[in-house]
Structure 1
Amino acid sequence: MKKFFYPLVLLTAFTISCSSDDDATSTSTLRLNLNGLENLGANFVYEGWIVVNGTPITTGTFTVNDAGMLSKTEFDVDRNQLRNATDFVLSIEPTNDPDPAPSNTKYLAGSFNGVTATVTSGIIGDFSVSTGKYVLGTPTNGNANPNAGVWFMNGNGPSVGLSLPTLDAGWKYEGWVVSNGVVLSTGTFSNPNGPDMSAIYSGMMPSPPFPGEDFLLNAPAGLTFPANLSGATLVISVEPFPDNSPMPFTLKPLSHNVANPAITGTTISMERSLMSFPTGTVSR
């Protein structure tokens, strides 16, 4: 069963405002002015919803191009439904969606206060206190190439290295390495306290029970493994599920630039980076 609305934690503010209409009109127009939404590709769209008496009602879909421009910025909405709405939600939906209800991938949301609602990405989780640690090393080949692998953990123990909010069914975390312009995934995961779902590049020896990857085997075309992560950028992103792209999504709460030359075998802290979260207003 799809859940529709969750407690909100305000991270990045959006505003929806409504002015009174003439009683003779049957619709009101919502105007969107949003920045920071990414192009979802051909298979997914954004969709707005108002919640009336606990029931979600669509306000329409739109896409975003590579320049961040919305395909549609004005939407006609039933006047009485908008007046009686308690909440607004923006979700990510399949382009050809057979389900009339909102997906689990709810992106922005907020409650109306009179004629105005402030919507945020807090419906996904509160990342304002998120922290991350990592260690460079290659445990899956006995640490023979320590600057070729990264594990998002505290090397003391070892123990959990990521402190992140629990995600609902429409989202997953994913680790990334960006080195010499090449983007490589370390795998997706829902539980920061356990392993991720990928080990396609790692060696044959056991890996730590935490997210991470050794870049030793099965190098993609144009790359040579064992890798050297000196100077690379490490990222933890929040990805839609199902995912719209094999590349990192807009939401990147944690990141860090690896030293050059890399420092291996030492626990290193990541930086919180909430600037990637979208901003904008929606008004009527």
Structure 2
Amino acid sequence: MKKKMILGVLALGMIASSCSSDDDNSSPTNSNLTLNLDGLEALGNNFVYEGWIIVDGSPVSTGTFSSVDFPQTFSVNSTQLEAANTFVLSIEPAVDMDPAPAATKILAGDFSGTTASVNSNSIVADFGASTGTYILATPTDTDDTNEESGVWFLDNSTGSAVAGLNLPTLADGWIYEGWAVLDGTPISTGTFLDPTTADDNAATSIFKGDAGNGPNYPGEDYLQNAPEGMTFPTDLKGATIVISVEPSPDNDPAPFTLKPLAHVVPDDAMTHTAITMGSGPISVVSGTVIRN
């Protein structure tokens, strides 16, 4: 009887060993996906970056990250990684109940062999042909002694005001925002999608004067309710005027890394006179993604 029990235990052990071996052989293997990206900035506590590979038309997450020190390597299912044809990087809430990618995608590129060259031009917008013009004026009050305290993105050089910004249409999940950087502190002029119309806070700005909303273009009068440490009205000569591209929803009250247009207001700038902007410090984010 004891011999039968021993034989039975040995048989069970052999079956268990065989099953374990089969399981090990059938378990998925992983490969490395290495990101080497240029121009990204930290998102703060409420948002993270998340990588995605597109496999048979469907997104597969490659993991999230907050640090913008590169290169960074992620372990990804080998079969899915080999079958992927595209890499996409999105901005996601840090606490995310939605397993799908957010609309705010900042980088994308197709794999060619083991490497994908990724950039923001293909997924946000291409800012290569962007131009900008602005004037100094304060049309929202009746005081003509503080005209250097407002900035409006319009061009009046022909005698009639027209849109001062030539900007591409943004992909879903992004919005433009204007800024005046005063003594190193950026103060928003408001957000907008269409540079030929007023920005989103035209009627609700706490900074503008009490005589109206200003022209039907993006801009701001810095006349009252100055942030702590500042005084309004001010003088924008010497300040930096910036157009940035912001995630929507926005990750931070400060300007985002994409800034296609910028210009330091000349010390001798004349009010009510068209001033041409130049290229901003960062108009594209790019990098490489390698699978191996």
TM-score past 0.5 threshold: yes
Counterpart residue number, 1:103: 102
Equivalent positions of 1:195-206 (< 5 A) are: 195-198=198-201, 199-206=205-212
| 2:140 is the counterpart of 1:133 | no
Q: Is the 8 Å Cα contact of residues 115 and 289 (structure 2) preserved in structure 1?
A: no
Structure 2 Cα separation of the partners of residues 143 and 278 of structure 1 = 43
Structure 2 Cα separation of the partners of residues 103 and 25 of structure 1 = 27
Counterpart residue number, 2:150: 149
Task: Report the AA paired with residue 202 of structure 1.
Answer: K
Counterpart residue number, 1:53: 56
Task: Report the AA paired with residue 198 of structure 2.
Answer: P
Structure 1 Cα separation of the partners of residues 58 and 244 of structure 2 = 31
Structure 1 Cα separation of the partners of residues 224 and 139 of structure 2 = 14
Q: Is the 8 Å Cα contact of residues 118 and 289 (structure 2) preserved in structure 1?
A: no
Equivalent positions of 1:199-214 (< 5 A) are: 199-206=205-212, 207-214=214-221
Counterpart residue number, 1:62: 65
Q: What are the Cα deviations for residues 78-99 of structure 1, in whole angstroms up to 9, with x where unaligned?
A: 1111111121100000000000
Q: Is the 8 Å Cα contact of residues 250 and 277 (structure 1) preserved in structure 2?
A: no
Structure 2 Cα separation of the partners of residues 120 and 172 of structure 1 = 18
**What SS does the corresponding residue of 2:170 show, helix, strand or coil?**
coil
Q: Is the 8 Å Cα contact of residues 196 and 211 (structure 1) preserved in structure 2?
A: yes
Counterpart residue number, 2:39: 36
Structure 2 Cα separation of the partners of residues 74 and 241 of structure 1 = 28
Counterpart residue number, 2:234: 227
Q: What are the Cα deviations for residues 178-211 of structure 1, in whole angstroms up to 9, with x where unaligned?
A: 1122221001111111111222211122310010
Tell me which protein shows more helix as a share of its residues: 2
The equivalent position to 1:246 in structure 2, one of 244, 248, 253, is: 253
Structure 2 Cα separation of the partners of residues 223 and 182 of structure 1 = 10
Structure 2 Cα separation of the partners of residues 188 and 43 of structure 1 = 21
**What SS does the corresponding residue of 1:273 show, helix, strand or coil?**
strand
Structure 2 gaps of 5+ residues are 1-26
Q: Is the 8 Å Cα contact of residues 229 and 262 (structure 1) preserved in structure 2?
A: no
| 2:100 is the counterpart of 1:93 | no
Change in 2 beyond 3 A, CA 1:80/1:229? same
Task: Report the AA paired with residue 84 of structure 1.
Answer: A
Q: Is the 8 Å Cα contact of residues 90 and 108 (structure 1) preserved in structure 2?
A: yes
Equivalent positions of 1:174-185 (< 5 A) are: 174-185=177-188
Structure 2 Cα separation of the partners of residues 257 and 142 of structure 1 = 27
Q: What are the Cα deviations for residues 203-247 of structure 1, in whole angstroms up to 9, with x where unaligned?
A: 122310010000001111111111110100000000011111100
Structure 2 Cα separation of the partners of residues 228 and 276 of structure 1 = 28
| 2:197 is the counterpart of 1:194 | yes
How far the C-alpha of 1:147 sits from its partner, in A, is 0.3
How far the C-alpha of 1:142 sits from its partner, in A, is 3.4
How far the C-alpha of 1:276 sits from its partner, in A, is 5.4
Structure 1 gaps of 5+ residues are 1-23
What is the RMSD computed on CA atoms of the aligned residues?
1.8
How far the C-alpha of 1:125 sits from its partner, in A, is 0.5
Counterpart residue number, 1:263: 270
Q: What are the Cα deviations for residues 82-120 of structure 1, in whole angstroms up to 9, with x where unaligned?
A: 111121100000000000000010000011223322111
Change in 2 beyond 3 A, CA 1:244/1:105? same
| 2:116 is the counterpart of 1:117 | yes
How far the C-alpha of 1:278 sits from its partner, in A, is 3.1
How far the C-alpha of 1:274 sits from its partner, in A, is 5.4
Percent identity over the alignment is 54
How far the C-alpha of 1:261 sits from its partner, in A, is 3.6
Structure 2 Cα separation of the partners of residues 111 and 142 of structure 1 = 55
Q: Is the 8 Å Cα contact of residues 107 and 285 (structure 2) preserved in structure 1?
A: no
